[in-house]
Amino acid sequence: MLSFPRYFRCLYPTTVLVATLCACATVPPSSVPPVQTAAPKTSADIYAPPTAKPIPSSKSTQAIVAMKEKPRDTAREREELLKYEEAARLFREEKRTLEAFQMLEGFLRMHPDSPFADDALLEQARIRIYEEESGKAVSILKKLLHDFPASHLRKAANLELERIYFSEERWRDCVEAGDNVLIFDTLPDERVEALSMSAVCRFRKKDRMKAVDDAIQATLLTSGDEIHAKAVQALELIAAELKDRELETIMSQSDGSEPYAHIAMVRLEKDIEKGYQAEAMEGLMDLLVHYPGQIPEEWTQNIYAGLRDHLLVQTNTVGAVLPLSGRFAVYGQKALQGIQAALGFLGSPTDTQSATEFRLLVKDSGADPVQAAQAVRDLSENHQVISIIGPIFSRTTRAAAEAAEESGTPIISLSPDPEIPALGKNVFRRSLLDSQQITTLVRLLNDRLMMNRFAFLYPDSPYGREMMNLFWDEVDKRGGEIVAAESFPPGQTDFGPQIRAMVGLNRKMTQEELALKEAGVDVELAPIIDFDALFIPADYQTVGLLAPQLAYYDVNEVLLVGSDGWNSPWLVELGEHYVEGALFTGGFVQDLENPEIREMSEKYWLTFGEDPQGLAVQAYDAARIIRAGIESGMVRNRSTMREYLMNLADFPSAEGLLTTDENGDILQKPYLLTVVDGKIQRFEIEFD
């Protein structure tokens, strides 16, 4: 086949090419008159930028006509064009990628010297990209660049490489590919895209100031809305991670254009995050003066509203959203008592109390999520509280968390739901993790007490099912066995059917037992107790009723195991000696040798005339954390309160040392508790 100069290979719309193919099919080669070859166009004139799923361009009719000036195998040339166009059509119109790729591969094998070979390679690479096979796409693109050094598709190939490297976070390769794109005469959209990706990649390579230059240049160029938005996004991403000194240097070069407006907006948002509210308010006024018409009105309104709330916030005012009415009012009241004791309300002052005066504003959430959310908004917007304690339950906490995020008010929920901290950056949780309790229990039972056969008797509720599944999973990890599992409806008081089913008292009599019964012998089925421990993830009221019934059915020689819901003196009052020796977890235990526990117990007793229990202690510690932050001077507003809570580490409390994890959970290590001589006390054991 004849070879021709590469400059004839220009791109024209596919429709023109199809018309040319039809002409080639109907007009004899000898009848085609010679045509004067036009001057080749530049790539800026002829190149159409690829979209996310690019459609390949076909060869220009002009180039084909020019090639007809010399004798050639027209039939073979037409065959080449048809094969290439059919493969491209399959991909472009029907996304039949495998078939299209195979046709292109066959075309390249039959016509390796075809003037359309580089087009076919680029099309193959795009098919691989579409199929998310980036490694194979890179190999094809590199082959194109190596085998066709003068190809007009070098710009397109490098742009595809830059996109791949950017998505794979191969920063160095991305920068190199971007530089190779920018040496060509590019269209605006192409240049903006290449610069935007290069800016981010340079920044990740620590070439920070050059990255800013690229991002500014990309933002200044005129392009389509979608491409321009990506340039702005890249600029804001980089600006958000710049240091204050770097931001000052960049802003000193501002000419009042759009890129510098975006950088100034990012700088102001960073000031707000750091708690520099007064400075941020001045910065907002300067921003509106120096960049008129360039600051989105919605952004301005949101910033102003946030600044207003922060500037007006009452540093010594704490809010509480608790269920103080309805069937859960008893829980809300206990939590409120813990908060009051921690903040010094109603109790006699002691030498250890600070002179700081606090205000406590309390709102009733009931069991209504809407009511809980409205309570958070009211406390945040109308009373300017610095932080909120509560709610207690999952449904109300989820609604309250959304309202807290809107106002930027940190809340400390007392809910046991482990998903609560993921609801927002202002949402924290002070409660024992269910998974922590289960891991601690099973580790003790299996590793130290050498038990590996277990049974479950659990309430058929979300909490009961979750705890049962967690326990089962942990036993499986350690090679243990679950031999029985029975559930009961919440609120049930007669557990006979479940107990009988669990220990085989409902089974049929054996032949020997039947013979004895027929002989007049009073035969009673004996329970089959083939497990070492019985796990009951219920509250102390339920366990207090259930334990005597277990004894009634002669289920005696097993260890009763439970969670922190058992941790109440009423467990012993209700369950009496039937819970003696039981093993369970808790977040708190009366240990007057511990100074934190002694102080808390004294405050609580002086205020309410009773000993504190689980939920009251959690609320007490949540309030103490907030109080300590305010008294330390570290907390000046809601932003610094959030930062303080997020960085809490080894805070001494009545529940042990408290530390906030990366999710916003204020965690402790659970206590292992038992009943000895009718009293709840710590189960003394040391783990490695």
Across residues 265-282, what is the average pLDDT?
Answer: 75
What's residue 354's pLDDT?
44
What's residue 257's pLDDT?
86
Same domain? For 397 and 448 the reply is no
What DSSP string runs through 493-562?
---HHHHHHHTTTTSPPPHHHHHHHHTT----PPP----SEEE--S-HHHHHHHHHHHHHTT--SSEEEE
Same domain? For 376 and 449 the reply is no
Strand partners, 85: none
Task: Report pTM.
Answer: 0.56
Condensed to tens digits (0 to 9), the pLDDT of residues 542-551 reads 999 999 999 9
What's residue 55's pLDDT?
37
Confidence at 309, pLDDT banded by 50, 70, 90: low
Q: Has residue 52 got a pLDDT over 60?
A: no
Strand partners, 484: 455
> Can the peptide bond before residue 548 be classed as cis, meaning omega within 30 degrees of 0?
no
Which helix (H) or strand (E) element contains residue 137? helix 134-147
Condensed to tens digits (0 to 9), the pLDDT of residues 487-521 reads 999 989 999 999 999 998 887 777 776 776 677 66
CA distance 31 to 296: 64
Same domain? For 46 and 117 the reply is yes
Task: Print the domain residue range for 141.
Answer: 1-152
Across residues 615-641, what is the average pLDDT?
Answer: 89
Confidence at 64, pLDDT banded by 50, 70, 90: very low
SS3 123: helix
Considering the domain boundaries, does residue 483 fall inside one? yes
Same domain? For 398 and 447 the reply is no
CA distance 589 to 23: 93
Condensed to tens digits (0 to 9), the pLDDT of residues 368-388 reads 999 999 999 999 988 889 999
Confidence at 167, pLDDT banded by 50, 70, 90: very high
Considering the domain boundaries, does residue 49 fall inside one? yes
Better-scored residue on pLDDT, 56 or 112:
112
Per the prediction, the chain carries an average pLDDT of 81
Residue recorded with tokens 């130290």: 448
What's residue 320's pLDDT?
96
What's residue 111's pLDDT?
78
Across residues 205-225, what is the average pLDDT?
Answer: 87
Better-scored residue on pLDDT, 7 or 76:
76
Same domain? For 18 and 128 the reply is yes
Considering the domain boundaries, does residue 224 fall inside one? no
Query: How many domains is the chain partitioned into structurally?
Result: 3
CA distance 306 to 449: 56
Confidence at 45, pLDDT banded by 50, 70, 90: very low
Across residues 194-217, what is the average pLDDT?
Answer: 90
What's residue 144's pLDDT?
93
The encoded tokens of residue 173 equal: 């390769």
Across residues 235-252, what is the average pLDDT?
Answer: 86
Condensed to tens digits (0 to 9), the pLDDT of residues 398-418 reads 999 999 998 889 999 999 888
What's residue 1's pLDDT?
34
Phi, psi torsion values for 441, nearest 5 degrees: -65, -50
Considering the domain boundaries, does residue 170 fall inside one? no
What's residue 441's pLDDT?
94
Considering the domain boundaries, does residue 15 fall inside one? yes
Confidence at 621, pLDDT banded by 50, 70, 90: very high
Same domain? For 373 and 448 the reply is no
CA-wise closest residue to 374 among 382, 626, 428:
382
> What share of the chain has pLDDT > 90, as a percent?
42
Better-scored residue on pLDDT, 660 or 49:
660
Better-scored residue on pLDDT, 85 or 472:
472
Residue recorded with tokens 């809340």: 411
What's residue 509's pLDDT?
73
Q: Has residue 40 got a pLDDT over 90?
A: no
What's residue 472's pLDDT?
96
Strand partners, 360: 318
The encoded tokens of residue 668 equal: 């402790």
Q: Which of 117, 152, 187 is the last residue of a domain?
A: 152
The one-letter amino acid at 620: Y
The encoded tokens of residue 6 equal: 């590469």
Considering the domain boundaries, does residue 389 fall inside one? yes
Q: Which of 126, 152, 178 is the last residue of a domain?
A: 152
What's residue 231's pLDDT?
87
What DSSP string runs through 143-169?
HHHHH-TT-TTHHHHHHHHHHHHHHTT
Same domain? For 444 and 538 the reply is yes
Condensed to tens digits (0 to 9), the pLDDT of residues 69-82 reads 444 455 665 666 67
> What share of the chain has pLDDT > 70, as a percent?
82
Cβ-contact 319, 387 below 8 angstroms: yes
Across residues 95-113, what is the average pLDDT?
Answer: 82
Better-scored residue on pLDDT, 10 or 626:
626
Considering the domain boundaries, does residue 628 fall inside one? yes
Considering the domain boundaries, does residue 365 fall inside one? yes
CA distance 130 to 108: 20
Across residues 163-169, what is the average pLDDT?
Answer: 94
Same domain? For 547 and 632 the reply is no
CATH number of domain containing 471? 3.40.50.2300
Q: Which of 568, 586, 604 is the last residue of a domain?
A: 586
Question: Helix 117-130 crosses helix 154-167 at what angle (to 10 degrees)?
Answer: 20
The encoded tokens of residue 428 equal: 């924290």
Contacts 24+ apart (CB under 8 A), 503-506: 503/527, 503/528, 503/529, 503/553, 503/555, 504/528, 505/553
Q: What is the DSSP letter of 637?
A: S
What's residue 69's pLDDT?
44
Confidence at 536, pLDDT banded by 50, 70, 90: very high
Same domain? For 1 and 137 the reply is yes
Radius of gyration, CA atoms only, the chain: 37
Q: Has residue 484 got a pLDDT over 70?
A: yes
Condensed to tens digits (0 to 9), the pLDDT of residues 139-150 reads 999 999 999 999
The encoded tokens of residue 103 equal: 């046709």
Same domain? For 424 and 457 the reply is no
Same domain? For 573 and 661 the reply is no
Condensed to tens digits (0 to 9), the pLDDT of residues 589-602 reads 776 667 777 888 88
Confidence at 36, pLDDT banded by 50, 70, 90: very low
In our burial notation (b when 16+ CB lie closer than 10 A, e otherwise), range 542-552 reads bbbbbbebbee
CA distance 391 to 396: 6
Same domain? For 359 and 478 the reply is no
